[in-house]
Amino acid sequence: MLREPSTVIDRKHLIEGLGKGLRVLECFSEEFPRLTATETGIKANLTRTAARRYLISLVHYGYAQTDGKYYWLLPRVLKIGQGYLESSRLPRLVQPFLQRFSLETGETANFSVLDDHDVVYLYRSNSPRILSIGFHAGARIAAHCTSAGHAMLAYVDTNEFEGWVRSHNFSRFTSQTITNQVEFLEVIQSVRMRGFALVDQYANMGLSGLAVPLLDKKGHPVGAISTTFQNIAYPDDSCLRKLLPLLQHTADIMREVI
């Protein structure tokens, strides 16, 4: 669940340099948009010299730019991720179902998957409201603070999940974010029992999230569908009455086509 099983490949067939180059690309983030060769080497577990060569190569091929000291990514990098979004079957399949949900509720809906410790949003429906709330396609956020993350983690094998919790960085986004491992284990256990996840202002104050797992015909989780909404619009957990049934119904229908 944390990642799709990889095909076993003999290491002698691997191009180690490609793997190192990808690690260099993954060093950049919202928190670290500009890096020096030294900083990149530390983050990618490379020597400064090796990191600098990879960074210079990225500049040469149009994926990065530099001022001589700092390096940053260029829009060409988006072609790599865009290729997945355009070629992957699931984001295209979920589109009409989530758009229907948005039309019926007036709320934005998302389809996401779990990638190690992050939730990655692959599709976002269009809300009929002028201001849509939610995560755009390609957004990545720590799984412990999202309803989609909770919904998917509830289906991870118990031993694997406990290992995930031990290695996860429970960073605080708001005063409501759960950062205690024991408390988080209890929350996910509750999600397993209820079949849905509800988070209250874990990532942004004033916003809550509701999610259900998306299961295939064999009952295996392939992702989650979720909606983010303003607390003021659904007082006293009225979202469970107004949004949850339709979210669950949408997931049930989608199960027949994935």
Q: H or E segment at 227? A: strand 221-230
Strand partners, 227: 109, 210
**CA–CA gap between residue 203 and residue 145 (Å, rounded):** 6
* CATH fold match for the domains 11-79 and 88-255: no
Query: What's the rounded Cα separation, in Å, for the pair 154 and 189?
Result: 7
Q: Which residue type occupies 16?
A: E
Q: For the sheet containing 64-66, what is the strand order?
A: 35-36, 70-73, 64-66
At 125 the pLDDT is 87
Mean pLDDT by 10 residues, the chain (258 residues): 59 88 92 95 96 96 96 91 75 88 92 92 76 73 95 91 93 93 94 95 92 87 92 91 95 86
**211 token code pair:** 């999610």
CA atoms in the 13 A half-sphere facing the CB of 121? 23
Residue 68, CB half-sphere, CA atoms under 13 Å: how many? Answer: 0
Question: Which residues of 1-156 form beta strands (DSSP E)?
Answer: 35-36, 64-66, 70-73, 109-115, 118-124, 140-142
For the record, the structure tokens of 119 come out as 């939730």
Question: What tokens appear for 142 in the block?
Answer: 């720590």
Give a three-class secondary structure readout of 162-210.
Answer: HHHHHHCCCCCCCCCCCCCHHHHHHHHHHHHHHCCEEEECCCCCCEEEE
CATH architecture of 88-255: 2-Layer Sandwich (3.30)
Domain spanning 11-79, CATH class: mainly alpha
H or E segment to which residue 248 belongs = helix 244-255
- Give the pLDDT of residue 61: 95
At 110-161, the pLDDT tens digits run 999 999 899 999 888 876 665 566 677 778 899 999 999 999 999 988 888 9
Query: In 3D, which of 98, 142, 85, 145 has the Cα closest to residue 119?
Result: 142
Given this model, what pLDDT does residue 129 score?
A: 63
Give residue limits of the domains in the chain: 11-79, 88-255
What gap in Å lies between CA 164 and CA 32, rounded to an integer? 24
pTM above 0.85, yes or no: no
| Per-residue b or e along 73-88, where b marks 16 or more CB atoms closer than 10 Å to that residue's CB | beeeeeeeeeeeeeee
